[in-house]
Structure 1
Amino acid sequence: MKAIEIMNEEHKYILRMLQVIRKCCFKILNNEEIIYEDFYKIIDFIRNYADNHHHKKEEKILFIKMVEELGEPAKKAVNQGMLVEHDLGRLHVRELVAALEKVKAGEEEAKLDVIANAISYTHLLIRHIDKEDRVIYKFAERNLNDEVIKLIDDECENYEINNEEIKNKYISILEELEKRY
């Protein structure tokens, strides 16, 4: 499936950003100054690449077709697994933003919340990506018929064509942050 190949590739970029997040948190742990601009770039990447770009294709294209075509097993895996984890990731990001604002306002103890939410997000996403790559995507490839696979591939390809600049922007941000960390 071309769509799943694209999503697997996006996972690689997301995993690379998770390494940047860990390095940023380690600097905080070592009492180095927080570079807020970098954290806001990370948050922008998470919200607009990992979530709005990548998760949108899963949630609005792949997962919907899986539930429609494959019934209860897909419904459970998607609704009680993948979507719950997407929402939990969004919660960690909201809490990360709130913690950064508290630190900026002078609450030193909020650095704990910056680290806790950022690292919790990385742990969640590492396991989440592994489940999608090894279980969910494979389940879709094995069980969806060729007609549905073509439909998913076409929808994802159109989405990619219309959002090429988003992909390029966020890969560039990732590469910039990797050079710094």
Structure 2
Amino acid sequence: MQQHMSRGIKDIIAEFPQIARILEEYGINCGSCGVGICELKDILEIHKLSPEAAKELTRRIEAAIHSGETPAMPPRHAGGRQDRPLLSAPLQVLVDEHRLIIRLLAQIPTLTAGLNLNSTTVRQTIEGVLEFIRFYADQRHHGKEEDILFSRFDVSGDIFRAFYEEHRKGRQFFQDMQQALAKGNAALLSCRLLEYAALLHEHIQKEDQVLFPWLDGRLSDQERKEIFAEFIITDGRPEMDDARHRTLVEQLETLFPLGKPPALPGDYNSLTVPEK
């Protein structure tokens, strides 16, 4: 078993597919995770299993590797996850930003339903959403990740390449959105907004559940303090103003309180798009 502890979990699952099912019983979805950064030894650390559950999971994985079968899970050990401790301050800042981004993403399916770009107020609403994506989701949030947090690590490995690629893909979607809005192409704009929302939802889940705990455990206390200080400086820039972006999200949630589109395009008039 020891020789497998430093192997990538994706490689192990490829060789022993039944291990993905075992992990799922403990709420660990390595089989469907697109990150693929974890070694087997990382799983227990990242996912905070109780000592009893960790011991049982290790035994079952070892049995699956040696027998090729999926050992049954004792009922008394179902779950077994301990309450996850809070991340350090800088990582928690990023998680908190994720919450606001998710609130914005939740409005996109409703916002794009029957999108009418002939309405000035609808166009202004979309402009506000694109401003949020550009300044808050990308420049503020992804900028802190790439320029400050990730810079503390060797970004040449597969771990970071996957996340950088998703950032790049999101930026391409954004460029397509801008062009579609300028040309009045509502179909393409709706398509790219929905694709962006799907991409970011999965991206955020992987960061919150896998990447951030993994990175946090590899930072020293001094590095965490330095990263947090750099975050404060970045967030102090005028274009990174949190209040105006939060206001936009709150106004969208008021406009679509139950995720329903307005009865008439004119209902968009209640929205005040933040000035840039």
TM range (shorter): 0.7 to 0.9
Distance across 2 between alignment mates of 1:61 and 1:143: 15
Measured on the aligned residues, the alpha-carbon RMSD in Å equals 2.1
Distance across 2 between alignment mates of 1:52 and 1:14: 13
SS of aligned partner of 2:177 = helix
Matched, 1:152 2:227: yes
Matches within 5 A, 1:52-131: 52-67=139-154, 75-78=157-160, 80-103=161-184, 110-131=185-206
* 37, 47, 57: which one aligns with 2:134: 47
The alpha carbon displacement at 1:140 in A equals 0.9
Can you give the 5+ residue segments of structure 1 that lack an aligned partner in the other structure?
A: 104-109
Letter in 2 for 1:141: D
Do the aligned residues in 1 keep the contact of 2:140 with 2:240 (CA within 8 Å)? no
TM-score w.r.t. length of structure 2: 0.56
Matched, 1:141 2:195: no
Letter in 2 for 1:77: I
Distance across 2 between alignment mates of 1:41 and 1:14: 13
Do the aligned residues in 2 keep the contact of 1:7 with 1:54 (CA within 8 Å)? yes
What's the % identity of the aligned pairs?
28
The alpha carbon displacement at 1:56 in A equals 1.0
Can you give the 5+ residue segments of structure 2 that lack an aligned partner in the other structure?
A: 1-87, 257-276
Distance across 2 between alignment mates of 1:32 and 1:168: 27
Larger Rg: 2
Deviations 1:46-82 (A, max 9, x none): 0011111111111110011132xxx76xx3212x111
After TM superposition, the runs of 4+ consecutive aligned structure 1 residues lying more than 3 A away are 31-34, 160-165
Do the aligned residues in 2 keep the contact of 1:3 with 1:157 (CA within 8 Å)? no
Q: Give the total of aligned pairs.
A: 167
Q: Could you tell me which residue of structure 1 aligns to residue 265 of structure 2?
A: none
Letter in 1 for 2:141: H
Distance across 2 between alignment mates of 1:162 and 1:114: 29
Do the aligned residues in 2 keep the contact of 1:57 with 1:156 (CA within 8 Å)? yes
Greater fraction of residues in helix: 1
**Comparing 150-159 and 82-91, the one that deviates more:** 150-159
Deviations 1:13-45 (A, max 9, x none): 0001001122111243xx796611100000000
Distance across 2 between alignment mates of 1:138 and 1:52: 23
SS of aligned partner of 1:143 = coil
Do the aligned residues in 1 keep the contact of 2:109 with 2:194 (CA within 8 Å)? yes
Question: Relative contact order (C-alpha < 8 Å, sep 6+): which is higher?
Answer: 1
**Comparing 3-12 and 156-165, the one that deviates more:** 156-165
Do the aligned residues in 2 keep the contact of 1:96 with 1:114 (CA within 8 Å)? yes
Distance across 2 between alignment mates of 1:125 and 1:154: 26
**Comparing 154-163 and 81-90, the one that deviates more:** 154-163
